[in-house]
Amino acid sequence: MGSKELVAWLPALLGLGAGDVVAFPRIAYPTYDVGTRIAGATPFAADATTAFGPTTAATAPKLLWLNTPSNPTGKVLGVEHLAKVVAWARERGVVVASDECYAELDWRDQSDRGGDAALPTTPSLLDPRVTGGSHEGLLVVYSTSKQSNLAGYRAAFAAGDPTLVRSLLEVRKHAGMIVPWPVQRALLTAVSDDEHVAVQRERYRARRAALRPALERWGLRIDDSEAGLYLWATAGEPSRVTVDRLADLGILVAPGDFYGVAGEQHVRVALSATDERIAAAVARLDG
């Protein structure tokens, strides 16, 4: 029921618990950490496999979360990076799960997409160039909340390793985690139509084109923000100070420390307000 639900419950659904490590990015939406704690496992924030040191199948994390494009940073992981992670994980029997719900909202120039100039999407963990033709040990979770504006429907799906997906299906059925039939039909309609996604993407692109330069004129630096619904911005000061200064203008943003200690000097600015509200924010920043 929505990709967030799967993020929260995946460690438990995979049978992880005390003594097992679940890894996720250092700057990340809190649900990766929360889901680890629900299962009674140990959370570990890391941005590179080298952070785990020398590892074997016995000492490596049992589950490694990726989030590309990232919430909140908008950073995109490329094919080469993903392929290295998969190779490392398979050597150690680590399940890799990639949260890719912002994949259709890629703002990079076509030349930056690694040969995928015709595609608006970011590389997936299930890309054949990443997997070598096998989905073993890999899961992707995808949501229509962003691409189709269906957040209230809780319409999402998981794909990847047939053995893992089959196991999840069986456990979820017995746990009553069954998506209502009308929502399943809405999900099917959403993923079968590209036109509405393109309309939604252009709506966010226009808001981003207006808001980003206004934030920069106001004195913020925009980091990463290659894709997704957010601008990851910093004034080189504690995030709560920036939050307060923007609040004085009537502009509400999220403090970066909400997403981890590594984000303590950034704020997350959303593009999900209405066009009229985005325009008002631009006027206030330039005021």
Structure confidence by residue, pLDDT tens digits, 35-54: 999 999 999 999 999 999 99
Q: What is the pLDDT of residues 235-285, one digit of tens each?
A: 999 999 999 999 999 999 999 999 999 999 999 999 999 999 999 999 999
Give the model's pLDDT for residue 112: 54
Give the model's pLDDT for residue 191: 95
Q: What is the pLDDT of residues 5-16, one digit of tens each?
A: 999 999 999 999
Predicted confidence band of residue 111 (pLDDT cuts 50, 70, 90)? low
Cα distance between residue 22 and residue 45, in whole Å: 9
| pLDDT for 117 beyond 90 | no
Let me know: does 225 contact 217? Beta carbons within 8 Å. Answer: no
Give the model's pLDDT for residue 286: 97
Let me know: does 178 contact 261? Beta carbons within 8 Å. Answer: no
Q: Give the amino acid at 102.
A: Y
Give the model's pLDDT for residue 271: 97
| pLDDT for 119 beyond 80 | no
Let me know: does 22 contact 62? Beta carbons within 8 Å. Answer: yes
Give pTM, 2 decimals. 0.93
CATH topology of domain 195-286: Aspartate Aminotransferase, domain 1 (3.90.1150)
Q: What is the pLDDT of residues 83-101, one digit of tens each?
A: 999 999 999 999 999 999 9
| pLDDT for 115 beyond 80 | no
Q: What is the pLDDT of residues 55-72, one digit of tens each?
A: 988 899 999 999 999 999
Q: Higher confidence at residue 115 or residue 142? A: 142
Cα distance between residue 124 and residue 101, in whole Å: 11
Q: Is the peptide bond before 11 cis (omega within 30 degrees of 0)?
A: no
Give the model's pLDDT for residue 164: 97
Give the model's pLDDT for residue 109: 79
CATH topology of domain 3-191: Aspartate Aminotransferase; domain 2 (3.40.640)
- For residues 176, 140, 266, 111, the Cα torsion angle rounded to the nearest 10 degrees is -150
- N-term to C-term CA, the chain: 43
User: Domain locations in the chain?
Assistant: 3-191, 195-286
Give the model's pLDDT for residue 57: 85
Q: Which residue blocks in the chain are alpha helix, DSSP H?
A: 3-13, 31-38, 79-92, 128-131, 162-174, 181-191, 195-218, 239-247, 275-286
What is the rounded average pLDDT of the residues 128-138?
Answer: 96
| Cβ count within 10 A of residue 19 | 9
What is the rounded average pLDDT of the residues 194-212?
Answer: 96
Q: Report the chain's mean pLDDT, rounded to a whole number.
A: 94
Let me know: does 63 contact 111? Beta carbons within 8 Å. Answer: no
